[in-house]
Amino acid sequence: MLTFVLMLSFTEENYLKSLFQLTVETALKEEAGTNELAAHLGVKPATVNDMLKKLKEKKLVKYEKYGKSSLTKEGRKIAIEVIRKHRLWETFLFEKLEFSWDEVHEVAEQLEHIQSKKLIDQLDKLLNYPVSDPHGDPIPNAKGELLILHQHTLAEELVGHQCKMTGVKDNSSPFLKYVDQLGLAITKTIKVLARHEYDDLIEIEVNGKRISVSPKLAENIFVVCTACKKKSKR
Amino acid sequence: MLTFVLMLSFTEENYLKSLFQLTVETALKEEAGTNELAAHLGVKPATVNDMLKKLKEKKLVKYEKYGKSSLTKEGRKIAIEVIRKHRLWETFLFEKLEFSWDEVHEVAEQLEHIQSKKLIDQLDKLLNYPVSDPHGDPIPNAKGELLILHQHTLAEELVGHQCKMTGVKDNSSPFLKYVDQLGLAITKTIKVLARHEYDDLIEIEVNGKRISVSPKLAENIFVVCTACKKKSKR
DNA sequence: TATATTTGTTAGACTTACCTAACAAATTAA
DNA sequence: TTAATTTGTTAGGTAAGTCTAACAAATATA
Ligand SMILES: [Mn+2]
Ligand SMILES: [Mn+2]
Ligand SMILES: [Mn+2]
Ligand SMILES: [Mn+2]
């Protein structure tokens, strides 16, 4: 039995990836709206509307007029493949080509669309089957299984609790450079000392030093809390 | 002084590369025609015509109505950069990811269009600044200097002469697999024993064995002849 | 040199991915 | 429960890159 490989354009792949990131990956939601997708992709809602119809035609998204959209099983599979490629390339750039964690994303945005099963399998092998990328994001395995980390943001952590930094939400270079500057990094232990009502700053201890961080920053830092329960599964 | 980086599409890059390969790289010609380019790129002449006008506008090709086309200095520079990327990626796939020489070209066709100076510089470094790709083709260096090999095809080699295989003209997978099968490979020593008038086959000795090859095959094998003069320069 | 052939150009059309402007439906607030 | 706001859709348009069909120029051949 012949299986037809439907070739998708870069653009179509990006729409599926965005939809995945706005729904499944953030776990809290099942569907995303047209405007939301437009904002995430940096295009106009009218453009998204056209594409949703096309992707529905190809049976990759579920979409009804005036309703929210979600991925079909096949659409989700493709989205995960793109994310796997993106994160493997980021890891490659970081581990093998001396890129810093704030430089990898931009180039991986291009590399994630290269079509070659062997390329990705061999890259995975070369990197020794990594489970997370330089930003702490889980890398789907070759079967498309994705580890969902039971993490929350530093902004949500309770005063007095100690946690460990596991990743970042924002992948932009300026944000990541700022994180570096503050001495924050994945695997660092962070203790929440206080929350200041007056200006909303959060006082934390990291590297044996007390620093104050903004809620905006804290919302973009992922942690797992040793004081709370923690679990993970593929 | 600001230098503007004109961003080219994949397509535009491919036209420049083709024009380079049909002219400068084969050294014998300065210019190429519309139909010739169309055949090389696998599109129709009308399409090439439109693109030539656009690339002329961008000052990357010299083109006059009903005349042959050639690259400007800037166009040539870009073509060489694309070829450098193509051949570095082929070398990477071959050396680091266990690809065979008949598998690298197809994937390199995609990878050659990734934009990142750092990526290419680091790849070059990782591979230890290779001078030729898995097919024996010279890799332009970071300055855009390209080694022109003084090679000719096996078809042109004189009877009685001994030569060394330096590369292939055809990069297609079926051809390369056939070359493998015959026991031919880059650096192998080949002695031309005879040319048979009757059926045009060329009898050679390679790996201590006598084999007969077709002129079609011989035209796609590059050699340098130890019995003739040999020189090379950047 | 006249004619046939090859080579190159033009016009008009299609697809993809995007846009703006106008409008309609759904949701939220008064 | 009407009105305001937000969200989503439609129509029509653009640019890139491709095509076909008709035509024109250049070159080769008789
Ligand atoms: Mn990324
Ligand atoms: Mn990442
Ligand atoms: Mn290419
Ligand atoms: Mn090659």
Q: Which is nearest to A221 in space by CA: B159, B121, A182? A: A182
Q: Indicate whether A31 and A92 sit together in one domain.
A: no
Q: Is residue B199's pLDDT more than 90?
A: no
Both tokens of A195, joined, read 């929350």
pTM: 0.92
Residue B81 lies in a domain: no
Protein residues with C-beta less than 5 angstroms from the ion ligand 3: B 14, 109
Instruction: Tell how far the Cα of A86 is from the centroid of ligand 1, in angstroms.
Output: 6
Place of tokens 């950069």: B81
**Residues in A 94-113 with any Cβ partner in B closer than 8 A:** 96-99, 103, 106-107, 110-111
Alpha-carbon distance of B180 to B10, in angstroms, equals 32
Q: Indicate whether B24 and B64 sit together in one domain.
A: yes
Q: Indicate whether B181 and B129 sit together in one domain.
A: no
Residue A186 lies in a domain: yes
Domain containing residue A196: CATH number: 2.30.30.90
Alpha-carbon distance of A174 to A160, in angstroms, equals 29
Domain that holds residue A207: 152-224
Residue B229 lies in a domain: no
In this predicted structure, which of A82-86, A118-122, B22-26 has the lowest mean pLDDT? B22-26
Confidence of residue A2 (pLDDT cuts 50, 70, 90): low
Q: Where is the domain boundary, A148, A180, A199?
A: A148
pLDDT tens profile B66-84: 999 999 999 999 999 999 9
Domain containing residue B99: CATH number: 1.10.10.10
A49 beta carbon to strand D: under 7 Å: yes
Residue A3 lies in a domain: no
Q: Is residue B8's pLDDT more than 90?
A: yes
CA angle in degrees (0–180, nearest 5) for B46-B50-B52:
110
- CA/C1' separation B67–D24 (Å): 14
Q: Indicate whether B202 and B159 sit together in one domain.
A: yes
Residue B102 lies in a domain: yes
Q: Indicate whether A143 and A162 sit together in one domain.
A: no
- CA/C1' separation B44–D29 (Å): 27
How many Cβ contacts (< 8 angstroms) between chains A and B?
Answer: 40
pLDDT value for A1: 59
Residue B190 lies in a domain: yes
pLDDT tens profile B140-188: 999 999 887 788 899 999 999 999 999 999 999 999 999 999 999 999 9
Q: Indicate whether A18 and A62 sit together in one domain.
A: yes
Both tokens of A121, joined, read 């399998």
- CA/C1' separation B153–D19 (Å): 37
| R_g of chain B computed on alpha carbons | 19
Place of tokens 């990477």: B92
Q: Which chain A residues are Cβ-neighbours of B105 within 8 angstroms? A: none
Average of pLDDT values for A153-172? 93
Q: Is residue B4's pLDDT more than 80?
A: no
**Backbone phi, then psi, for B125, in 5-degree steps?**
-65, -45
Question: In total, how many domains does chain A have?
Answer: 3
